[in-house]
Structure 1
Amino acid sequence: MDLKLKYEQDFQQWIEHHITLFKEKRLTELDIEHLIEELEDMGKSNKYELNSRFTVLLAHLLKWQYQYKQLQDQWGTFTGGSWRGTITEQRLQINKLLRKTPSLKRYLADTLIEAYPDGLKIAVAETGLPKTTFPEICPYTLEQVLDENFYPDSF
């Protein structure tokens, strides 16, 4: 059986076959090259998810801080419920990811810094406010971003 061909044609079958090989301790038959590739991709996937969650969270924290009061004054009944829901969801998913993969904690500070420019772009696009309205660097600490009770003061 050509494992490389199976990998390219039917990934699920390739996985199932490798599970069998591992269980039967037939390690010499493993497709090492593709196993390494898949393991590396798994690590990248977790980091990508963390970055993506921070990006959305930061965008919503910025919107909360820089547009919430304006919309509340304008509409009177605006409560930011959807924003609050998104902020809560991102924090829950980040915490779940960190529980499942505790080693990601060492990337938190860098990920916060890396995610901010994209979060800023989203906030600018969604609020219509000039980019100069917002800070160039992340105005929140890691602790604030992850704190379920933290909502920045509105201007």
Structure 2
Amino acid sequence: MTTQLKYAIEQLYDEDYVLWLDETLKQLQRQEIESLDLPHLIEEMEALGNEQRNKVDSYLRQLLIHLLLYSYWIQERERCGEGWKDEIDNFRYELELLFSSKTLYNYFLQRIDVVYAKARKKAISKTQLSTTVFPEKCPYSPDELLNSDYFPE
């Protein structure tokens, strides 16, 4: 492959990202490894992995917030409880979809405590309840977090 052709492929990344994706896919299918825009391909692969991990963090945070609201904002449970349960179900479902990857499931297990601290902070802010209402440590096991039949009472 000529230097000029390689340069043209690298330029596509900035000029027409979707076309760059299409051309990169074709090169991979044809196993034209030497002509790949490796710096951008590596960047995209890293971004894909980060995006998946960010989804785990985001869905886990939302799941924890809604579990905390359902568990501890007793004054609002009668009015909002069914909506919170729907959201809990939705976030569990989204996490289950991601967990076809054992790597992302293991990431989830490692992130519970970190993400719980952020979810707790948001629940305190939203409810304006005392910080003593919400446990310092996550009160839910990984199994409870993902169990579609589990709702704290």
Q: Which TM-score applies when normalising by structure 2?
A: 0.88
1:18 to 3, 14, 24: 24
- Residue aligning to 1:81: 82
Corresponding residue SS for 2:28: helix
Check the 8 A contact 1:51/1:114 in 2, yes or no.
no
The offset of 1:151, in angstroms, is 1.2
Deviations 1:7-54 (A, max 9, x none): 112111100111111222221100111111111111111111001001
Alignment of 1:58-137 (within 5 A): 58-67=64-73, 69-72=74-77, 78=79, 80-99=81-100, 101-137=101-137
RMSD over equivalenced CA pairs, Å: 1.5
Structure 2 distance, partners of 1:39, 1:150, is: 36
Q: Which structure is higher in RCO with an 8 Å CA cutoff and minimum separation 6?
A: 1
Q: Which runs of 5+ in 2 are unaligned?
A: none
Q: Distance in 2 between matches of 1:9 and 1:116?
A: 41
The unaligned stretches of length 5 or more in structure 1 are none
Q: Distance in 2 between matches of 1:22 and 1:139?
A: 47
Contact 1:91-1:148 at 8 Å conserved across structures: yes
TM-score under structure 1 length normalisation:
0.87
Please give the alpha-carbon distance, in whole angstroms, between the structure 2 residues aligned to 1:136 and 1:16.
48
Name the residue aligned to 1:57.
63
Matched, 1:149 2:145: no
Match of 2:51 in 1: 45
Q: Report how far residue 79 of structure 1 moved.
A: 5.7
SS of the equivalent of 1:19 reads helix
Alignment partners' CA distance in 2, 1:114 and 1:4: 39
CA deviations on 1:96-149 (whole Å, 9 max, x unpaired) are: 1112x2321221211211211121122112212122321111111111111111
Alpha carbons of 1:122 and 1:79: their partners in 2 closer, same or farther (altered >3 Å)? closer
Q: Supply the distance in 2 between the matched residues of 1:25 and 1:133 (Cα, whole angstroms).
A: 58
DSSP 3-state at the match of 1:113: helix
Q: Distance in 1 between matches of 2:30 and 2:47?
A: 25
Give the 4+ runs in structure 1 shifted more than 6 A. Answer: none
